Amino acid sequence: MIRFALTLAVLLAASVPARAAVDIVEVTSPGGLKAWLVEEHSIPFTALELRFKGGASLEAPGKRGAINLMTGLLEEGAANMDAQAFAKARESLAASYGFDVYDDSMAISARFLTENRDEAIALLRAALVAPRFDPDAIERVRAQVLSGIASDSTDPGHIASSTFDALAFGDHPYGADRSGTAESVAALTRDDLTDAHARLLTRDRLVIGAVGDITPEALGSLLDDLLGDLPATSDAVVPETNFALSEGVTVIDFDTPQSIAYFGHSGIKRDDSDFFAAFVANEIFGGSGFGSRLTEEVREKRGLTYGIGSFMVGLDQAQMVLGQAATANERMAETIEVVRDEWRRISEAGVTQEELDAAVKFLTGAYPLRFDGNATIARILAGMQMDDLGIDYIATRNDKVNAVTLEDIARVVKRIYRPEDLHFVVVGKPVGLEEVN
C-alpha cells in the first residue's frame, strides 16, 4: 500500500504544468450527463471533480448540520464495506477522495491511476449511491463535528463572521454555520442523514470537471457507471433570502487582548456587466497584495494592524463586499474610523491610473499560475460551470481584466463601496467603541 501511495504522490507532483492555455471539450455521456474535460495523456492519472448544487442550504428546516454530517460519513463505509474495509480498499488502489460541503454546493474530488480507474470509480460509486451510515460511524463523525463546533465557539474570527452572517440572513441557511450547533447536531438521527442524502445527491444538480488520462468516450461511460443510479431529481429547494443588515456596529464581548472586526455590506452579482471593474477595484482597495489601500493606510501608515483586507463574496442568493481586521483593543475604534474613511474615499474619488495598471498587471500575470495540476484544473472547470461561465472563459478572462478602464471603476465603486451601509461586527474588548444598531 505504501508503494501505491508513493506512486500517486509522484504523479500528482508531476501533473499538468502551470499554464492558462487549457483545451476544454464538453462531453455528454450516453445517459445524458454533461462534463467538461481536459485531456492530458502524458501521465496515467485522472482527476475528477463533482459539484452538487445547493449544498448545505438544501437541508430540511430544523436540521442544521445534517448535510455536513452526511458528507463526512460518505467515506465511512459503503455497500458491504464498513469504514475500515472502505479505507483499506481505497488505499490498495492508491485512490484519493475528498468530500466537502459549502453553503451552495457539495464538492467531491477523486484522483486515481489509469490502471485502477474501474475499481476506483466502483468504490466511489458505492460511497455516493450506497453509504451505510452505520451507528458507530455516525457517532464517531458526530463527535468530530461537535469538537469542531466547540473549537469555533472560542475563535474570535469565527464568532465575528458567524455573527455577521446571522445578522445579515436571519433564519435562512446562510445565517447559520453549515456545521450546525451543538444542539442541532446532537439531535440528528440516521433518518435525517438519509433524507439529507436524498435532498442533495441528484443528477440534475451535478456539474462535472475532469482532467487527465481519459478520452471523452471513456469519460462518458465512467460517468454513467458512477452516477447513473443516483435519483434524477429531488423536491428540495433553497429558500430565497435578502441581505438584511444595515449600517451599524455590533460588539461581542470576548476576553482577549486583541479585537477582531468583520465588516461589509451587500455587493455585486457575478453576471453583472460591472463585475470585472468591481473585481479590479477590490484588488486595489483591499485585495491580496501588500500595496492595497487598506494595507497602506491602516497597517503601513498608522501601524494599527498586522493584517487587513477586503474581498467579494458571491453566493447563489446573496452578494457581499466584506473585510476583516485585527488590532489591539485600544486601537479598534480608530481602525474602524480609518476603514470608513477609506471606504468613502474610493467611492468618491475612484482610483489612479497607476493603481489600475499595477492591479491589472498583477491579476493577469498571476492567473496562469492557478493552473498547476490536474486536480486544480478540474476544480476550476467545475467552478466555472457553477458560476455559469462560458467554456471559453479561461481564454478570455484576462482580456476582460485588461479592458477595465478608470471610467469603469469610477462608475462601479459608487455602487459597491457605500460607507453609509457599512456594518462592523467586533469581537473582543474594544476601548471607546460603542455599539450602534
Tens of pLDDT, residue by residue over 382-406, are 999 999 999 999 999 999 999 999 9
Interval 402-428 mean pLDDT = 97
Taking 60 as the threshold, does the pLDDT of residue 1 lie above it? Answer: no
**Stretch among 4-18, 94-108, 344-358 having the lowest mean pLDDT:** 4-18
pLDDT reported for residue 291: 82
Interval 126-155 mean pLDDT = 98
Handedness of CA 125, 131, 132, 136 (dihedral sign): positive
pTM: 0.92
Task: Measure CA 44 to chain center.
Answer: 29
pLDDT reported for residue 41: 96
Alpha helices (H) in 93-232, listed in sequence order: 117-129, 135-152, 156-169, 182-187, 190-200, 216-227
pLDDT reported for residue 437: 81
pLDDT reported for residue 290: 66
CB atoms under 10 Å from CB of 44, counted, come to 16
* Nearest C-alpha neighbor of 285 from the set 417, 119, 159: 417
Taking 70 as the threshold, does the pLDDT of residue 168 lie above it? Answer: yes
Taking 70 as the threshold, does the pLDDT of residue 7 lie above it? Answer: no
Task: Measure CA 238 to chain center.
Answer: 17
214-249 pLDDT tens trace: 999 999 999 999 999 999 999 999 999 999 999 999
Percent of the chain scoring above 90 in pLDDT: 92
pLDDT reported for residue 15: 40
pLDDT class of 11 with cuts at 50, 70, 90: very low
How many Å apart are CA 328 and CA 333, to the nearest integer?
A: 10
How many Å apart are CA 207 and CA 388, to the nearest integer?
A: 10
Interval 13-30 mean pLDDT = 70
Mean of per-residue pLDDT scores for the chain: 93
304-321 pLDDT tens trace: 998 899 999 999 999 999
Percent of the chain scoring above 70 in pLDDT: 95
pLDDT reported for residue 434: 83
Taking 70 as the threshold, does the pLDDT of residue 5 lie above it? Answer: no
Give the CA distances from residue 185 to residues 64, 67, 106, 149, 229, in Å, rounded to whole numbers and listed in that order: 7, 10, 19, 10, 29
Domains of the chain (ranges plus CATH)?
2-227 (3.30.830.10), 248-428 (3.30.830.10)
341-388 pLDDT tens trace: 999 999 999 999 999 999 999 999 999 999 989 999 999 999 999 999
pLDDT reported for residue 436: 81
Interval 100-115 mean pLDDT = 98
Taking 50 as the threshold, does the pLDDT of residue 301 lie above it? Answer: yes
Strand order of the β-sheet with 319-328 is 248-253, 423-428, 258-266, 319-328, 308-314
Residue 42: partners with Cβ closer than 8 Å, 6 or more residues away? 213
